[in-house]
Amino acid sequence: MSSKTAKPEKIRCDACPVMCYIADGNSGACDRYANQDGELIRLDPLTIIEKNVADGNPVVPFLETGEVWDGDVVQSKERFITAIGAGTTYPDYKPAPFIVSSNAGGVDTVTVVTEGIFSYCGAKVKIDTDRHLGPERNLVRANGEPVGHVTTAEYGSQMLSIGGVHHLTGGGKKEGRVTCETLLALCNGQAVELSIDGGADLVVQANKPPIVNGAAEERMRVGCGSAAVGMFASQWKDLVDEVVVVDDHITGVMSEHQAGKVIGWQETGIRIKGRRSTPGRYFQVANPGNGWGGTDLVDPLTILGDFNPKKAKPGLSLLMVSTTGEQFAYFELNEDLVPIEKDVPEALAPSIERIDENCEPALCSVVFMGGAGGSLRAGVTENPVGLTRSVQDSLTNITCGGAPTYRWPGGGITVMVDVTRMPENSFGYVPTPAIVAPIEFTMSMENYIALGGHADHVLDLVDAISANSGRQKDHILNGQRFVDAHANNPWPIKGKH
């Protein structure tokens, strides 16, 4: 009489370097794989992007709940298998979980799909606000642990660099764990609380306004003070004698600025405390802060010296305004040539409102950045450098969850992707710690064979979708999730140009 072999109480998961032993009915440390009746199952559904073939418009997803697809292939829809829920190549000697062939515009193509385990990764957070958040190079912390730093400010935006291998692996265990949690939340579109040494407390979330020291920001600057003078000079002409646009970086003074000179602005004898750069442009009028124009100014008159009595006259009018229009004040010189604050004339109100109108909304943008030059390339080809060269020669297109990426020039494969253009919950983690991110390599079949790809493992797109409704490559996958193609994303597979 035959007897069935008893299934072990625990099974070993080889999906990442942690190599968890998972008891029946439980999941591993990453919550991505579980033991179901002695079989290793993938908990997240494989995500497939689809659109109508007829007009290229996205279709409404019919399986938003993640339930198992019934295997029906509708020919009116074009589909792209993303790496979200596909599984990884770890250990990396084996081919990628999905190597899928399709035809695009008469070109036979191959898409190699895998979830990469990234230790060399991070997020660049662009915060559109005129508010000073903290000095460059100062640490950014989450739950008290250093997870990044303030980096170079850009026009109207403060920039943070979060994550990276040194925070993930180079510090203590808690630093690595908190860094990984912070990156995962940011990249999956969740709100994250951060603090900057010597600076602000923040709440940042992709595609949401930042919250700085408990207050939601509303706008980013229209430009620096010099730019604002240039943009609105003609609108202030004949309405006021002098305009100063206060800015942490470049404060603009109308009567001295080239824009004022061109339209015949008269000298006013104004004097600015700061480092004069070129006519009408002043640096370092104050320290960075949360006051006027990103400075620490509460009273804008602080930056004014005595007016030149040879040029200034009593009654001379002065408008001082910030680069967002958030702060403004109107003054007239008295008999001693001292500015006295007055009510803003009605004629000047539209120009101040115009500054506000030209400011864009305050917003946080999150870009995931990762280096894919490591061993995951072995899941694509037996000769990993072949993939690198194919990418560098623009023969291979890289997407992340179907979203377009920017590849940095130079060695290796270093890519950036806007997380808001990816499907929801595209990212996972392993407690090594590292981020799990989807990555797809698409190329022509001819190029795939030329770079030494795993041609014996290529599966037709329709067959891959059908096979995945049950069992695929020794792992039972938890069904499929169909999502709309992002309206602003190009279709990941390109045909003839």
Three-class SS string for the chain? CCCCCCCCCEEECCCCCCCCEEECCCECCCCCEEEECCEEEECCCEEEEEEECCCCCECCCCCCCCCCCCCCCCCCEEEEECCCCCCCCCCCCCCCCEEEEEEECCEEEEEEEEEEEECCEEEEEEEECCCCCCCCCCEEEECCEEEEEEEEEECCEEEEEEECHHHHHCCCHHHHHHHHHHHHHHHCCCCEEEEECCCCEEEECCCCCCEECCEECCECCCCCHHHHHHHHHHHHCCCCCEEEEECCCCEEECCCCHHHHHCCCCCCCCCECCEEEECCEEECCCCECCCHHHECCCCHHHHECCCCCCCCCCCCEEEEEECCCCCEEEEEECCCCCEEEECCCHHHHHHHHHHHHHCCECCEEEEEEEECCCHHHHHCECCHHHHHHHHHCCCCEEEECCEECEECCCCCCEEEEEHHHCCCCCCEEECCCEEEEEEEEEEEHHHHHHCCECHHHCEEHHHHHHHHCCEECCEEECCEEEEECCCCCCCCCCCCC
Burial 152-174 (b: 16+ CB within 10 A, else e): ebeebbbbbbbbbbebbeebeee
Q: What's the confidence (pLDDT) of residue 65? A: 38
Provide the token pair at 320.
């001082």
Q: What's the confidence (pLDDT) of residue 43? A: 75
Q: What's the confidence (pLDDT) of residue 103? A: 86
Q: What's the confidence (pLDDT) of residue 473? A: 38
Residue 15 CA to residue 221 CA, distance in Å, equals 47
Instruction: Return the closest-CA partner of residue 297 out of 326, 332, 254, 337.
Output: 326
The residues near 409 (Cβ < 8 Å, ≥ 6 apart) are: none
pLDDT along the chain (497 residues), means of 10: 60 78 80 78 83 55 41 64 86 84 87 92 95 95 98 94 96 95 98 97 97 94 93 94 96 96 95 96 94 94 97 97 95 98 96 93 97 86 92 94 95 95 93 92 94 92 73 49 90 69
Which pTM does this prediction carry?
0.86
Residue 13 CA to residue 19 CA, distance in Å, equals 5
Q: What's the confidence (pLDDT) of residue 452? A: 92
Q: Where are the domains of the chain?
A: 121-220, 225-358
